[in-house]
Amino acid sequence: MTGLDPGEGAISEPQPILIGSEPLGNGPLLPPGLEISDDGCGAYLADYCVEIPIRSAGVRAGNPDEVRSCSTGDDHEPAGSLEVVAAPASAPSSGSIRVRIEVEAGLQIDGECFADEVMSILRNPRGWQAIDDVVFEQTDGDRSDLRLILASPDRTDALCHPARTVGRFSCRKQDSVILNLMRWESGTDDYSDDLSSYRTYLVNHEVGHFLGRGHLRCPGPGELAPVMMQQTKGLGECEPNGWPTKDES
């Protein structure tokens, strides 16, 4: 299994994590004179970062296009290692974006269910597949174009390193999208009544970065928030939205 950084081997033990400007682990993580911003999304040497504040309990899914959590229990025992979810028997077609879906071992998540939800989002006619004229196909082979990983907060920190995800963020790093389990299960306050749309947003936002898109701002009061807006930092005057808007086509 290829790691996240060039030349890195199989992912093994978690790497040191930055909390503020103090490293946990052995040795300094920053070049001399470089300081880390107090902004939790001020990622160091990361492609992108999404700030995801911890929200209160009491989430319920209210979207008719429900995106299931695929949870099988509450007693997660994350093992650190990643398990590849088996893909359908059909081989990916030529020119498709091959997506390998992985779930951290020990999480109380049905991997096949999670993969079904992710692929449904990616293949939805409202999503990137139609806008960018691409085709997403699931694979479980060694050759993939995109790794989409669901991991515990600690493992997310390790996989996103040197981005400062501090147990609360998700990230896109090179050819990988790492979704934080806590966010997948809990969402944010702005989506407290529509967790399905939050999960849709989370997948589409990070995969949008993989496709080369940057962040956008709220276009105006009452408008749908662009999916590439950092909605988890707040919606401003926009309305929550999990799909690419006309301005992102």
Q: What is the pLDDT along the chain (249 residues), one digit of tens a residue?
A: 323 322 222 333 333 322 222 222 333 333 344 333 344 444 433 444 544 444 433 334 444 578 999 999 888 999 999 999 999 887 667 779 999 999 999 999 999 999 999 999 999 999 999 999 999 999 999 999 999 999 999 999 999 998 888 888 899 999 999 999 988 998 888 887 889 999 999 999 999 999 999 999 999 999 999 999 988 888 999 999 999 998 887
- Predicted confidence at residue 193, as pLDDT, reads 82
* Residue the block writes with tokens 């749309």: 197
- Predicted confidence at residue 91, as pLDDT, reads 62
- Predicted confidence at residue 108, as pLDDT, reads 94
- Predicted confidence at residue 64, as pLDDT, reads 55
**What are the residue ranges spanned by the domains of the chain?**
45-54+80-244
- Predicted confidence at residue 169, as pLDDT, reads 81
| Cβ–Cβ under 8 Å, residues 119 and 136 | yes
- Predicted confidence at residue 167, as pLDDT, reads 85
Rounded distance between C-alpha atoms, residue 111 and residue 102, angstroms: 8
In the CATH hierarchy, which top-level class contains the domain 45-54+80-244? Answer: alpha beta
- Predicted confidence at residue 105, as pLDDT, reads 96
pTM to 2 decimal places: 0.76
- Predicted confidence at residue 56, as pLDDT, reads 38
- Predicted confidence at residue 115, as pLDDT, reads 97
- Predicted confidence at residue 92, as pLDDT, reads 61
Rounded distance between C-alpha atoms, residue 109 and residue 74, angstroms: 9
- Predicted confidence at residue 4, as pLDDT, reads 30
Q: Where are the beta strands (DSSP E) in 28-145?
A: 48-50, 82-84, 97-104, 136-139
- Predicted confidence at residue 25, as pLDDT, reads 31
